[in-house]
């Protein structure tokens, strides 16, 4: 054996895999469908917070329309208040 320093750069070939025990399945318990996929294949790169898919659920769309209508009414009643005053927490 010989003691010494390593070069500042090291190049290597390999692949990285995740621990499949940490893989989770998330199920939305609502009737709907996937409108668009942003990640198309296994091992595609994703960033934290990146959208994976757009889904359409008719029941959720109706609830969203009611929410937006309530916000519009709030803004009409109090036009001088900031927009955030008419946004209710999720």
* 49 Ramachandran zone, left/alpha/beta (phi>0; psi -120 to 50): left
**Per the domain annotation, does 3 fall within a domain?**
no
Q: Into how many domains does the chain fold?
A: 1
Take residue 38 and report the two structure tokens written for it.
């942003």
State the residue range of the domain holding 64.
Answer: 26-41+49-84
Take residue 58 and report the two structure tokens written for it.
């008719």
What pLDDT score does 88 carry? 64
What secondary structure letter does DSSP report for 57?
A: -
**Per the domain annotation, does 5 fall within a domain?**
no
**Per the domain annotation, does 31 fall within a domain?**
yes
| pLDDT tens per residue, range 14-38 | 776 777 787 777 776 888 888 999 9
Residue 90 has pLDDT above 60, yes or no: no
**Per the domain annotation, does 15 fall within a domain?**
no
**Per the domain annotation, does 8 fall within a domain?**
no
| Residue for token pair 């999720």 | 90
- Assign 50 a pLDDT band (cuts: 50, 70, 90): very high
**Per the domain annotation, does 1 fall within a domain?**
no
**Per the domain annotation, does 7 fall within a domain?**
no
What secondary structure letter does DSSP report for 40?
A: -
């Amino acid at each position: 054996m010989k003691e010494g320093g390593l070069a500042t750069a090291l190049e290597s070939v390999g692949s990285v895999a995740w621990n499949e025990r940490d893989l989770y399945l998330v199920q939305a318990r609502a009737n709907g469908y996937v409108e668009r996929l942003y990640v198309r294949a296994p091992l595609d790169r994703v960033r934290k917070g990146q959208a994976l898919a757009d889904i359409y659920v008719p029941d959720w769309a109706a609830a969203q329309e009611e929410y937006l209508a309530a916000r519009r009414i709030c803004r009409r009643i109090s036009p001088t208040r900031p927009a955030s005053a008419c946004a209710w927490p999720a």
